[in-house]
Structure 1
């Protein structure tokens, strides 16, 4: 029986209404995240100067993830106090304030504090955005909304690298550009984009419902028992994202590549991740996500080994390796999150999301200093041996998740139709 074309178009339009309603929210996230990403890249380019004490570099690299952790822990209280939209605007203003500080001084203790602010801002931005999306979406469209959100964050990273290339990696105006982009995002979010769509439940009711039964809150250990591969994926994502974006300029300088090549490597990495989001998301809805994560972990391990292989590569081949690695590494996180959500009842998703972001920040904190130390003790290529070990751990845990007996207490809640 053929369906009425008018009814089909009407159904599609109604389903797309919610997506259209949040496009300006996604645009705000993209613009502010672009400024924050540009700020991170600019700081990394400054820290690649061989005249800077390596211990100072390690200290400054650690400041961002500590701020990120603080943002993960305090974002929920900001949302309860101010609401999602006001919390987002406050964090964007704080990020702009931090960007101003880099232009005033290069004193290491001040930069440490500014890196704390930068990490706090981006973490709070992510927590506010992801918790709002989880509360606004329903079971049928949560996957689509989260995919769009991941696309916006990938575009933000890509746009930041393109701005660096356009201005020049050695430009003295990169901090001013980062400040301008963050302010642009703040102006757009406050005056151009309009108010955020209202949640189905008042925020206070939603929060009270989430706290009604503390025993139902999903902490890291409970998530690890339910879906260990998801926990490892999130930790690996925190480790990979932080190290690639902050350590690649330092790696490039130590293997005698200029700053422009370092920026292009990060751009290739970001572009690979952005272009792979849609096809990997399509695959994850049509095959067992644990099998997909196993394949991604093995591929990531092989690509890291190829990048770390002794000897020099032609630049185009190196760009290709970074592009392929970005396509693998930057899609492990959403597949892992989708698998975790498919194992949870919808009322636990916000709680679990906060725990997973906390784990992401732990990956941020633990590994940049370790990566810098390994690069100093052994060779610059040790960075990718560390990243490869994280990808291998994803593959090993996915294999374990496939072979172990299912937990009877787990209540599947299929949000995107994947086979688990």
Structure 2
């Protein structure tokens, strides 16, 4: 077993720390997807001299490759999992249901994608693959009759009604916080030209971004040569092409393999965006997004970007979900029609698509930072800092420029 680190927690912590008496908050990162969402919320808290933040990555024998490297790249204090399980924290920040029953301290649970209610009709877990699942199910939110989150952050008022049907005993813990990721992306539209410059998009060129979730039914799963086809079909003097892949594509296959699969496109100028280095900014910078049923495509639609669906998820998508709304209001990719007219069709549909999808993603537009900060400080039993909670600009894009 790994040794414990000599950090700011434990019976003799007062002999080590420089800032004493801090409340301790831990960020639980079982997946890169959860980690990227929690990094949106953490700046609301971590600058406070009264609070010590730290990270932990569950190690239970079924972890995801690369997650610990991702967390350590954030340069925060990383507690070994077995040490975190032996401490009671003043706040636990989570964006995944995994391992919540093992942790000690009040849990603030957020969604890790667009919407708290999943767009997929079924769980990805092998034991429940044929059972309808929403993400607000009793088996996820409770353990032996105990409600796990002290605060369950929901994105919309409609999700409160869904929770009432699926796990009514958790209603007193529910709080509609909105969507901090979308708030930050909308705020960052003001920096669109800066992001385009950082991506190397000259004035007059258009950026087409391929957005893929994970699984065999995703864009990359079904159309692995789509980026290559776009590079061939679109004049490079007028178009640039980017690709944004779900973090689990990178964690399951590994960065080396993913970049190798895209090697020919990278040589031709494809902008391949790592999952932690600017996917939000790339969506802000895009002129047209060709995607699937994943959250990234939904965020692009909510931003007002023209969206064309290359893959719509079929019967695996829950009727009325965010992904279902996107496919009902966005045109599908056609192989018998030139690309330019299809971009025009997507552009004409973009305003209505944005209104519908934005309303499905958040019922508290522009308010997530304020609502989340208030909830965190209530759990910490501390008064909020002076001044309003601010919505940040998203991180600048940093596409891969090497092949391996």
Same fold (TM over 0.5): no
Q: Which has the higher contact order (CA 8 A, sep 6+)?
A: 1
Please indicate the TM-score interval, normalised by the length of the shorter structure: under 0.3
Whose strand fraction is larger, Structure 1's or Structure 2's?
2
- The TM-score, its normalising length taken from structure 2, stands at 0.25
- The TM-score, its normalising length taken from structure 1, stands at 0.24
